[in-house]
Amino acid sequence: MLKFIVKKLLQMIPMLLLISFIVFVGLQFTGIDPIYYMISPDMAANTDNIEALRELYGFNDPLLVRYFRWLGDLLQGNFGYSIVSGSSIKTVIAQRLPATLELSAFALVLSTIIGITIGIISAIKQNGIIDYIGRVFAVVGQAIPQFFFGISMILIFAIKLGWFPTAGRMSPEGVGFGDRLWHLVLPGVTLTLSMCAVLMRYARNTMLGVLNSDYIKTARSKGIPEWKVYLKHGFRNAMRPVLVILCFRLPMLIGGSVVIEEVFAWPGIGTILTQAVVSGDYPVILVTTLMVAAAMLVASFLVDVLTALLDPRVRIGE
């Protein structure tokens, strides 16, 4: 098992290098010349100056050299600087990441609990009232644009009813847990609901498939009570694919709330990424992408390990 884990971990490194390289190279084609962000407009008139600066910063070096220089810096903890604001990317991320994690983790946990519970109940009581409501909710939930839903929430609960703030992560004067939570509710609930729909459907269909299998019939033929049939034999088997989907959702912790952050002016990674894309701030894009990629690889690593742990067919082998 340990060997398996180490092997999987080692496999992540070339993957990460590959992704970073592809994005690095890709962003070279954007046609944005970072030099113009670094000098004042009157200096830009003098082409000699620009050339000299290019040489100084190494922008004329071959692509590979620049890539490995960037990579080297990164490994030493130097994330580079935003070419738009000039601020250290490390600082920016250190400020923003907690906000995104807070929002996404809230939604991920809540949507998991709600989605799986309703999905499983819908499968057990197929065509029952919960199944019906759940299905309508899933269908409608998948058709409403996320931001439109968010705006509607703001209008109803923030503007008309005044229960929650319209935007932001905390009040300027307010500090403490209560204030944070108060700000978190609307974006959190919006993100939760939009993440729920797919999971619910998936959990329901997986559980339905499991409940139709022969071993469920075997379990029933033993005369054990239905709740044991559902939990011990049904749920346990349905959980494996559902957990896999959950792991694959982990990258959403970092990159899954871009739109919601924009709607609720949530100061997270999503907002910087959007700004960076609009302004062509490629060092920022590069670092953000790499973070999401790392999260993604961790997720697929977890999936491998979890499947191995949960499924004796993988764990023990034939």
Partner 1 sequence: MELTLKEKRSASSSLMKKNIRKFLNNRLAMIGLIFMLILLFMCVFAPLFTSYDAETVDFTAMRAAPSREHIFGTDRLGRDIFARILYGGRVSILVGVVGAFSGSLIGMVLGSIAGYFGGKIDALLVRISELFQTFPQMVLILIMVAVLGQGLENLLIIFSLTGWMTTFRMVRNEFLSLKEETYVKVCEAFGMSKMSIMFGQILPNVMSPVIVATTVNVAGFILQEASLSFLGVGVPTTIPTWGNILNAAKSIDVVTNYWWLWLIPGLVITIFVLAVNFFGDGLRDVLDPKQQ
Partner 2 sequence: MDNKDIILDVKKLNTSFVSDKKETKIIKDVSFQMKRGKTLAIVGESGCGKSVTVHSIVKLMPRNARVKAEKVQYNALKDGVVTEYSLDKMEAYGKEMRKLRGPEIGMVFQDPMSSLNPVYRVGDQVAEGLIEHEHISKAEAKKRVLDMFKKLGIPDPEQRINDYPHQFSGGMKQRVVIAIAMISNPELLIADEPTTALDVTIQAQIMELMKKLQVEDGKTIILITHNMGLVAEMADEVCVMYMGRVVEFGTLEDIFEHTSHPYTRALLRSVPVLDMEEGEELETIPGITPNPADLKEGCEFADRCSECMERCRKGTIPAYEVSPGHRVRCLKYDKFPEVD
Given the rule CB under 8 A, which residues bind partner 2?
A: 126, 212-215, 217-226, 228-229, 233, 236-237, 240, 310-313, 316, 318
Q: Which of 63, 62, 59, 66 is nearest to 35 (CA)?
A: 59
Q: Based on CB atoms, which residue is closest to partner 2, 19 or 310?
A: 310
Question: Rounded to whole angstroms, how far apart are CA atoms 256 and 252?
Answer: 4
Nearer to partner 1, 34 or 53 (CB): 34
Q: Report the DSSP beta bridge partners of residue 81.
A: 88
Q: Does residue number 273 form part of the binding site for partner 1 (CB under 8 A)?
A: yes
193 is in the binding site of which of partner 1, partner 2, none (Cβ under 5 to 8 A by kind)?
none
Our finding on whether 159 is near partner 1 (CB under 8 A) is: yes
With CB cut-offs between 5 and 8 Å by kind, which of partner 2, partner 1, none does residue 236 bind? partner 2
Which residue number, 148 or 215, has a Cβ lying nearer to partner 1? Answer: 148
Distance CA 31, CA 266 (A): 30
Q: Which is nearer to partner 1, 219 or 287 (CB)?
A: 287
Can residue 106 be called a binding residue for partner 1 (CB under 8 A)? no
Quote the strand ranges of the chain, DSSP E.
none
305 is written with which tokens?
């390990």
Cβ closest to partner 1, residue 53 vs residue 280: 280
Q: How many whole angstroms separate alpha carbon 170 and alpha carbon 317?
A: 52
- Compute the least distance from the CB of residue 66 to partner 1, in Å: 16
* Interface with partner 1 (CB under 8 A), residue from 26, 58, 72, 128: 26
Binder to partner 1 among 144, 198, 308, 314 (CB under 8 A)? 144
20, 26, 32, 38 alpha-carbon torsion, rounded to 10°? 20
What is the number of alpha carbons within 13 Å of residue 97 lying toward its C-beta? 12
Backbone angles phi, psi at 174, to 5 degrees: -80, 135
Identity of the residue numbered 149: F
Of 31 and 312, CB closest to partner 2: 312
Q: Which of 115, 188, 256, 267 binds partner 1 (CB under 8 A)?
A: 256
d(CA 264, CA 63): 39
Q: What is the dihedral of CA 146, 205, 236, 103, to 10 degrees?
A: 0
Helix axes 2-28 and 282-310, enclosed angle (nearest 10): 160
Selected from 124, 267, 299, 304, the binder of partner 1 by CB under 8 A is 299
- List residues binding partner 1 (CB under 8 A): 15, 19, 23, 26-27, 29-31, 139-140, 142-148, 151-152, 154-155, 159, 166-167, 205, 208, 248, 251-252, 254-256, 258-259, 262, 273-274, 276-278, 280, 282, 285, 288-289, 292-293, 296, 299-300
